[in-house]
Amino acid sequence: MTLSLYISGDTTARALGADALVAVLEVQAAAADVPLNIIRSGSRGAFWLEPMLEMDWQGKRIGIGELMASDAEGLLATLLDNPESHPNYLGEVAELPWFANQHRLTFARAGEGDPIDLNTYRALGGLQGLERALSLTPDAVVEEITDSGLRGRGGAAFPAGIKWRTVLGAEADQKYIVCNADEGDSGTFADRLLMESDPFQLLEGMAIAGIAVGATQGYIYLRSEYPRAQLMLNEAIDAARLAGVLGERVLGSDKSFDIEVRLGAGAYICGEETALLDSLEGKRGMVRAKPPLPALEGLFGKPTVVNNVLTLAAASTVLAEGAAAYQAHGTGRSRGTLTVQLAGNIARGGLIEVPYGISLREIVFDWGGGTRSGRPVRAIQVGGPLGAYLPEAQWDLPLDYEAFAQAGAMLGHGGVVVFDDTIDMAAQARFAMAFCVAESCGKCTPCRMGSIRGVEVIDKLVANPADTAQKILLEDLCDTMEHGSLCAMGGLTPSPVRSALRYFPEDFGLAAEAS
């Protein structure tokens, strides 16, 4: 009998040595003359356990974690004989508390099987959303999205239904669906994981969007730092075309929809939706003033839905399970689930999908297990390079968009980067300004020049903390950037800077302010 094993083929599992593990097992199988079938599934996102091996054993899907090729002597024999005897045996994967306590909707299929096998996707509930959308009127599809309370996952949390409604209502000979897969925030990898572990879900969501608003062409704007995602998407698109899921007559209907992957070229600002559209048009990625809204004048001047990977993927869940089921998850105006990416100096890093409303402390300590270095956590940056650094006093904040906004922070795309007590917060503040220097599109002076000045002023302040003029200058500069910038690049770069200064003044050589 053939032995079937699952080993992730995603970027992180491979970066940790999954390919070498596969190679060792293949050698052992050949030597023992055992028929072996290794399925390169996607990762479930428990990166602290990768490379992880899974197999069906006595009716259960069991796992063995942190399997390095260098420790794999006799591994195949152990698997054949009794995998439970392996020192890294984890038991039934779904029962591990790290997974069992999550609410997986978008990432329910991730890691289950071959990500680019359409039959696997169907068997795991895929395409039900698209089938349902095809049975409804466009208006009813948009209504479902609106009623679900789905908000954009790219950062701004704008209601997806309102955006789709605008595009549906626009008269045009051509409309577009653009997927924002630029995922530039450090500390985020949810889009990547979805594209590498369950790419059909994104394609399905885009097709649903196309049917809803009357668009026949979709583009995925993918950052060039994600070659594996590019490969998986293109293979999935080919398979979907072959099976009649994409192309003319989607699933035998009278609707057509096709998708093309376009690569970015290493510019953070191209994650901003209007810069992204300029880039897709073959121009420099310059931010456009709004209005006009992309929903009315977007790609090539046509009405365009621009949504994040996770937003579009969630659309397939909403259509498959119904707006009410989706809406039942979450809290306040944050509906559905939140994908948190535990990153940086973290013991149990990876992706977790949880209900909105739980605290930062819970996810960093209960799921994340604190720092990987074993030292105390000192600061947590949430929401990417434009997000605030939060000190311990703020770790009980509930994870929802409004609570974070009230505290002067943002959830953004759900990136949570943990730092231990060796971090120099003045250096982090400087980095935030330097990042803005490198990545500004250059349109507004406060962003382009202010960030250059910001680096200089921080250097002067650190060199001579007694020079109070520099601190005042830095605050003024932050004000100017916040108020005089067209987009959040210049407008929010002050956020990490100010939080560093406010909560960690000692790193700048300053005394704590009386509060």
Ligand X SMILES: Cc1cc2nc3c(=O)[nH]c(=O)nc-3n(C[C@H](O)[C@H](O)[C@H](O)COP(=O)(O)O)c2cc1C
Q: Is 438 in the site for ligand SF4 (CB under 6 A)?
A: no
Which of ligand SF4, ligand X, other proteins, none does residue 281 bind (CB under 5 to 8 Å by kind)? other proteins
The Cα-based distances of 156 to 35, 117, 219, 222 in angstroms read 50, 33, 21, 19
Choose which of 57, 89, 395, 431 interacts with other proteins (CB under 8 A).
431
3-state secondary structure 269-332: HHHCHHHHHHHHCCCCCCCCCCCCCCCCCCHHHCCEEEEEHHHHHHHHHHHHHCHHHHHCCEEC
Is residue 200 near other proteins by the rule CB under 8 A?
A: no
Does position 258 bind other proteins by CB under 8 A? no
In the complex with other proteins, the residue whose CB is nearer, 280 or 313, is: 280
Q: Which helix (H) or strand (E) holds 419?
A: strand 415-420
Stated as kind and residue range, the H or E segment containing 453 is helix 445-463
User: Among 9, 336, 412, 415, which residue interacts with other proteins (rule: CB under 8 A)?
Assistant: 415
Residue 25 touches ligand X, criterion: CB under 6 A:
no
Q: What share of the chain is helix, strand, coil (3-state, %, to 5)?
A: 45, 15, 35
For β-strands 377-382 and 389-390, DSSP reports them as antiparallel
Letters for 440-479 (x = contact with ligand SF4 by CB under 6 A, - = none) are xxxxx--xx-------------------------------
Min dist CB 500 to ligand SF4, Å, is 20
Q: Which does 417 bind (CB under 5 to 8 A by kind): ligand X, ligand SF4, other proteins, none?
A: other proteins
303 binds ligand X (CB under 6 A): no
- Whose CA is closest to 330, among 257, 403, 275? 403
Tell which one of 28, 120, 188, 499 touches other proteins (CB under 8 A): 188
* Per-residue tokens: 380: 């947590």
User: Using CB under 6 A, which of 42, 113, 126, 152 touches ligand X?
Assistant: 152
Instruction: State the Cα–Cα distance between residues 315 and 302, nearest whole angstrom.
Output: 22
Tell me the C-alpha to C-alpha distance, in Å, between residue 64 and each of 48, 78, 90, 288: 12, 11, 5, 50
Angle between the 199-213 and 190-197 helix axes, to the nearest 10 degrees?
100
Q: Which residues ranging from 82 to 111 are in contact with other proteins (CB under 8 A)?
A: none
Task: Say whether residue 468 binds other proteins (CB under 8 A).
Answer: no
Q: Which residues between 418 and 437 bind ligand X (CB under 6 A)?
A: none
Which pair of structure tokens corresponds to residue 175? 């409309």
- Does position 274 interact with ligand SF4 (CB under 6 A)? The reply is no
Cβ neighbours, 10 Å, residue 261: 19
Give the whole-angstrom CA distance, residue 416 versus residue 412.
10
375 touching other proteins, by CB under 8 A: no
User: Which residues, other chains included, contact 444 with Cβ-Cβ below 8 Å and sequence gap of 6+?
Assistant: 484, 485, 486, 490
Distance CA 400, CA 279 (A): 32
Task: Name the burial class of residue 494, with classes exposed (0-12), middle (13-18) and buried (19+) by CB atoms within 10 angstroms of its CB.
Answer: buried
CA 85 from chain centre, in angstroms, equals: 36
Per-residue x/- track, 446-475, ligand X (CB under 6 A): ------------------------------
Query: Does 266 sit near other proteins (CB under 8 A)?
Result: yes
* Candidate segments 48-56, 117-125, 253-261, 300-308, binder of ligand X by CB under 6 A: 300-308
State the minimum distance, in angstroms, from the CB of residue 10 to other proteins: 10
Quick check: 410 binds other proteins (CB under 8 A)?
A: no
Between CA 164 and CA 98 the distance in angstroms is 35
Decide: is 290 part of the binding site for ligand SF4 (CB under 6 A): no
Q: How many residues bind ligand X (CB under 6 A)?
A: 21
Q: Counting contacts by CB under 6 A, is residue 495 touching ligand X? A: no
Among 6, 48, 257, 508, binds other proteins (CB under 8 A): 48
Q: How far is the CB of 388 from ligand SF4 (least distance, A)?
A: 18
Q: Of 106, 175, 167, 179, nearest to 142 (Cα)?
A: 167
**Given the rule CB under 6 A, which of 27-35, 88-96, 180-188, 229-237 is the region that contacts ligand X?**
180-188
Q: In b/e form, how buried is each residue of 454-478, taking b as 16+ CB within 10 angstroms?
A: bbebbebbbeebeeeebbebbeebb
Indicate whether 224 belongs to the interface with other proteins (CB under 8 A). Answer: yes
492 binds ligand SF4 (CB under 6 A): no
Instruction: For other proteins, give the closer residue by CB, 150 or 236.
Output: 236
User: Which residue bears the tokens 């302010």?
Assistant: 513
**Closer CB to other proteins, 283 or 333, in the complex:** 283
CB of 229 to other proteins, least distance (A): 8
Q: Which residues contact 179 (CB under 8 A, 6 or more apart)?
A: 202, 206, 218, 219, 220, 221, 307, 308, 309, 312
Q: What is the 3-state secondary structure (H, E, C) of 204-225?
A: HHHHHHHHHHCCCEEEEEECCC
Q: Pinpoint the alpha helices (H) of 39-152.
A: 75-81, 97-100, 118-123, 128-135, 138-148
352 binds other proteins (CB under 8 A): no
444 binds, among other proteins, ligand SF4, ligand X, none (CB under 5 to 8 A by kind): ligand SF4
Binding residues vs ligand X (CB under 6 A): 152-156, 158, 180, 182-184, 269, 271-273, 306-308, 311, 487-489
* Chain residues that interact with other proteins, rule: CB under 8 A: 11-12, 14-16, 47-48, 50, 183-189, 192, 224-228, 262-268, 279-285, 299-300, 341-346, 349-350, 372, 381, 385, 415, 417-420, 423, 428, 431, 435, 438-439
Residues that bind ligand SF4 (CB under 6 A): 269, 287, 440-444, 447-448, 485-487, 489-490
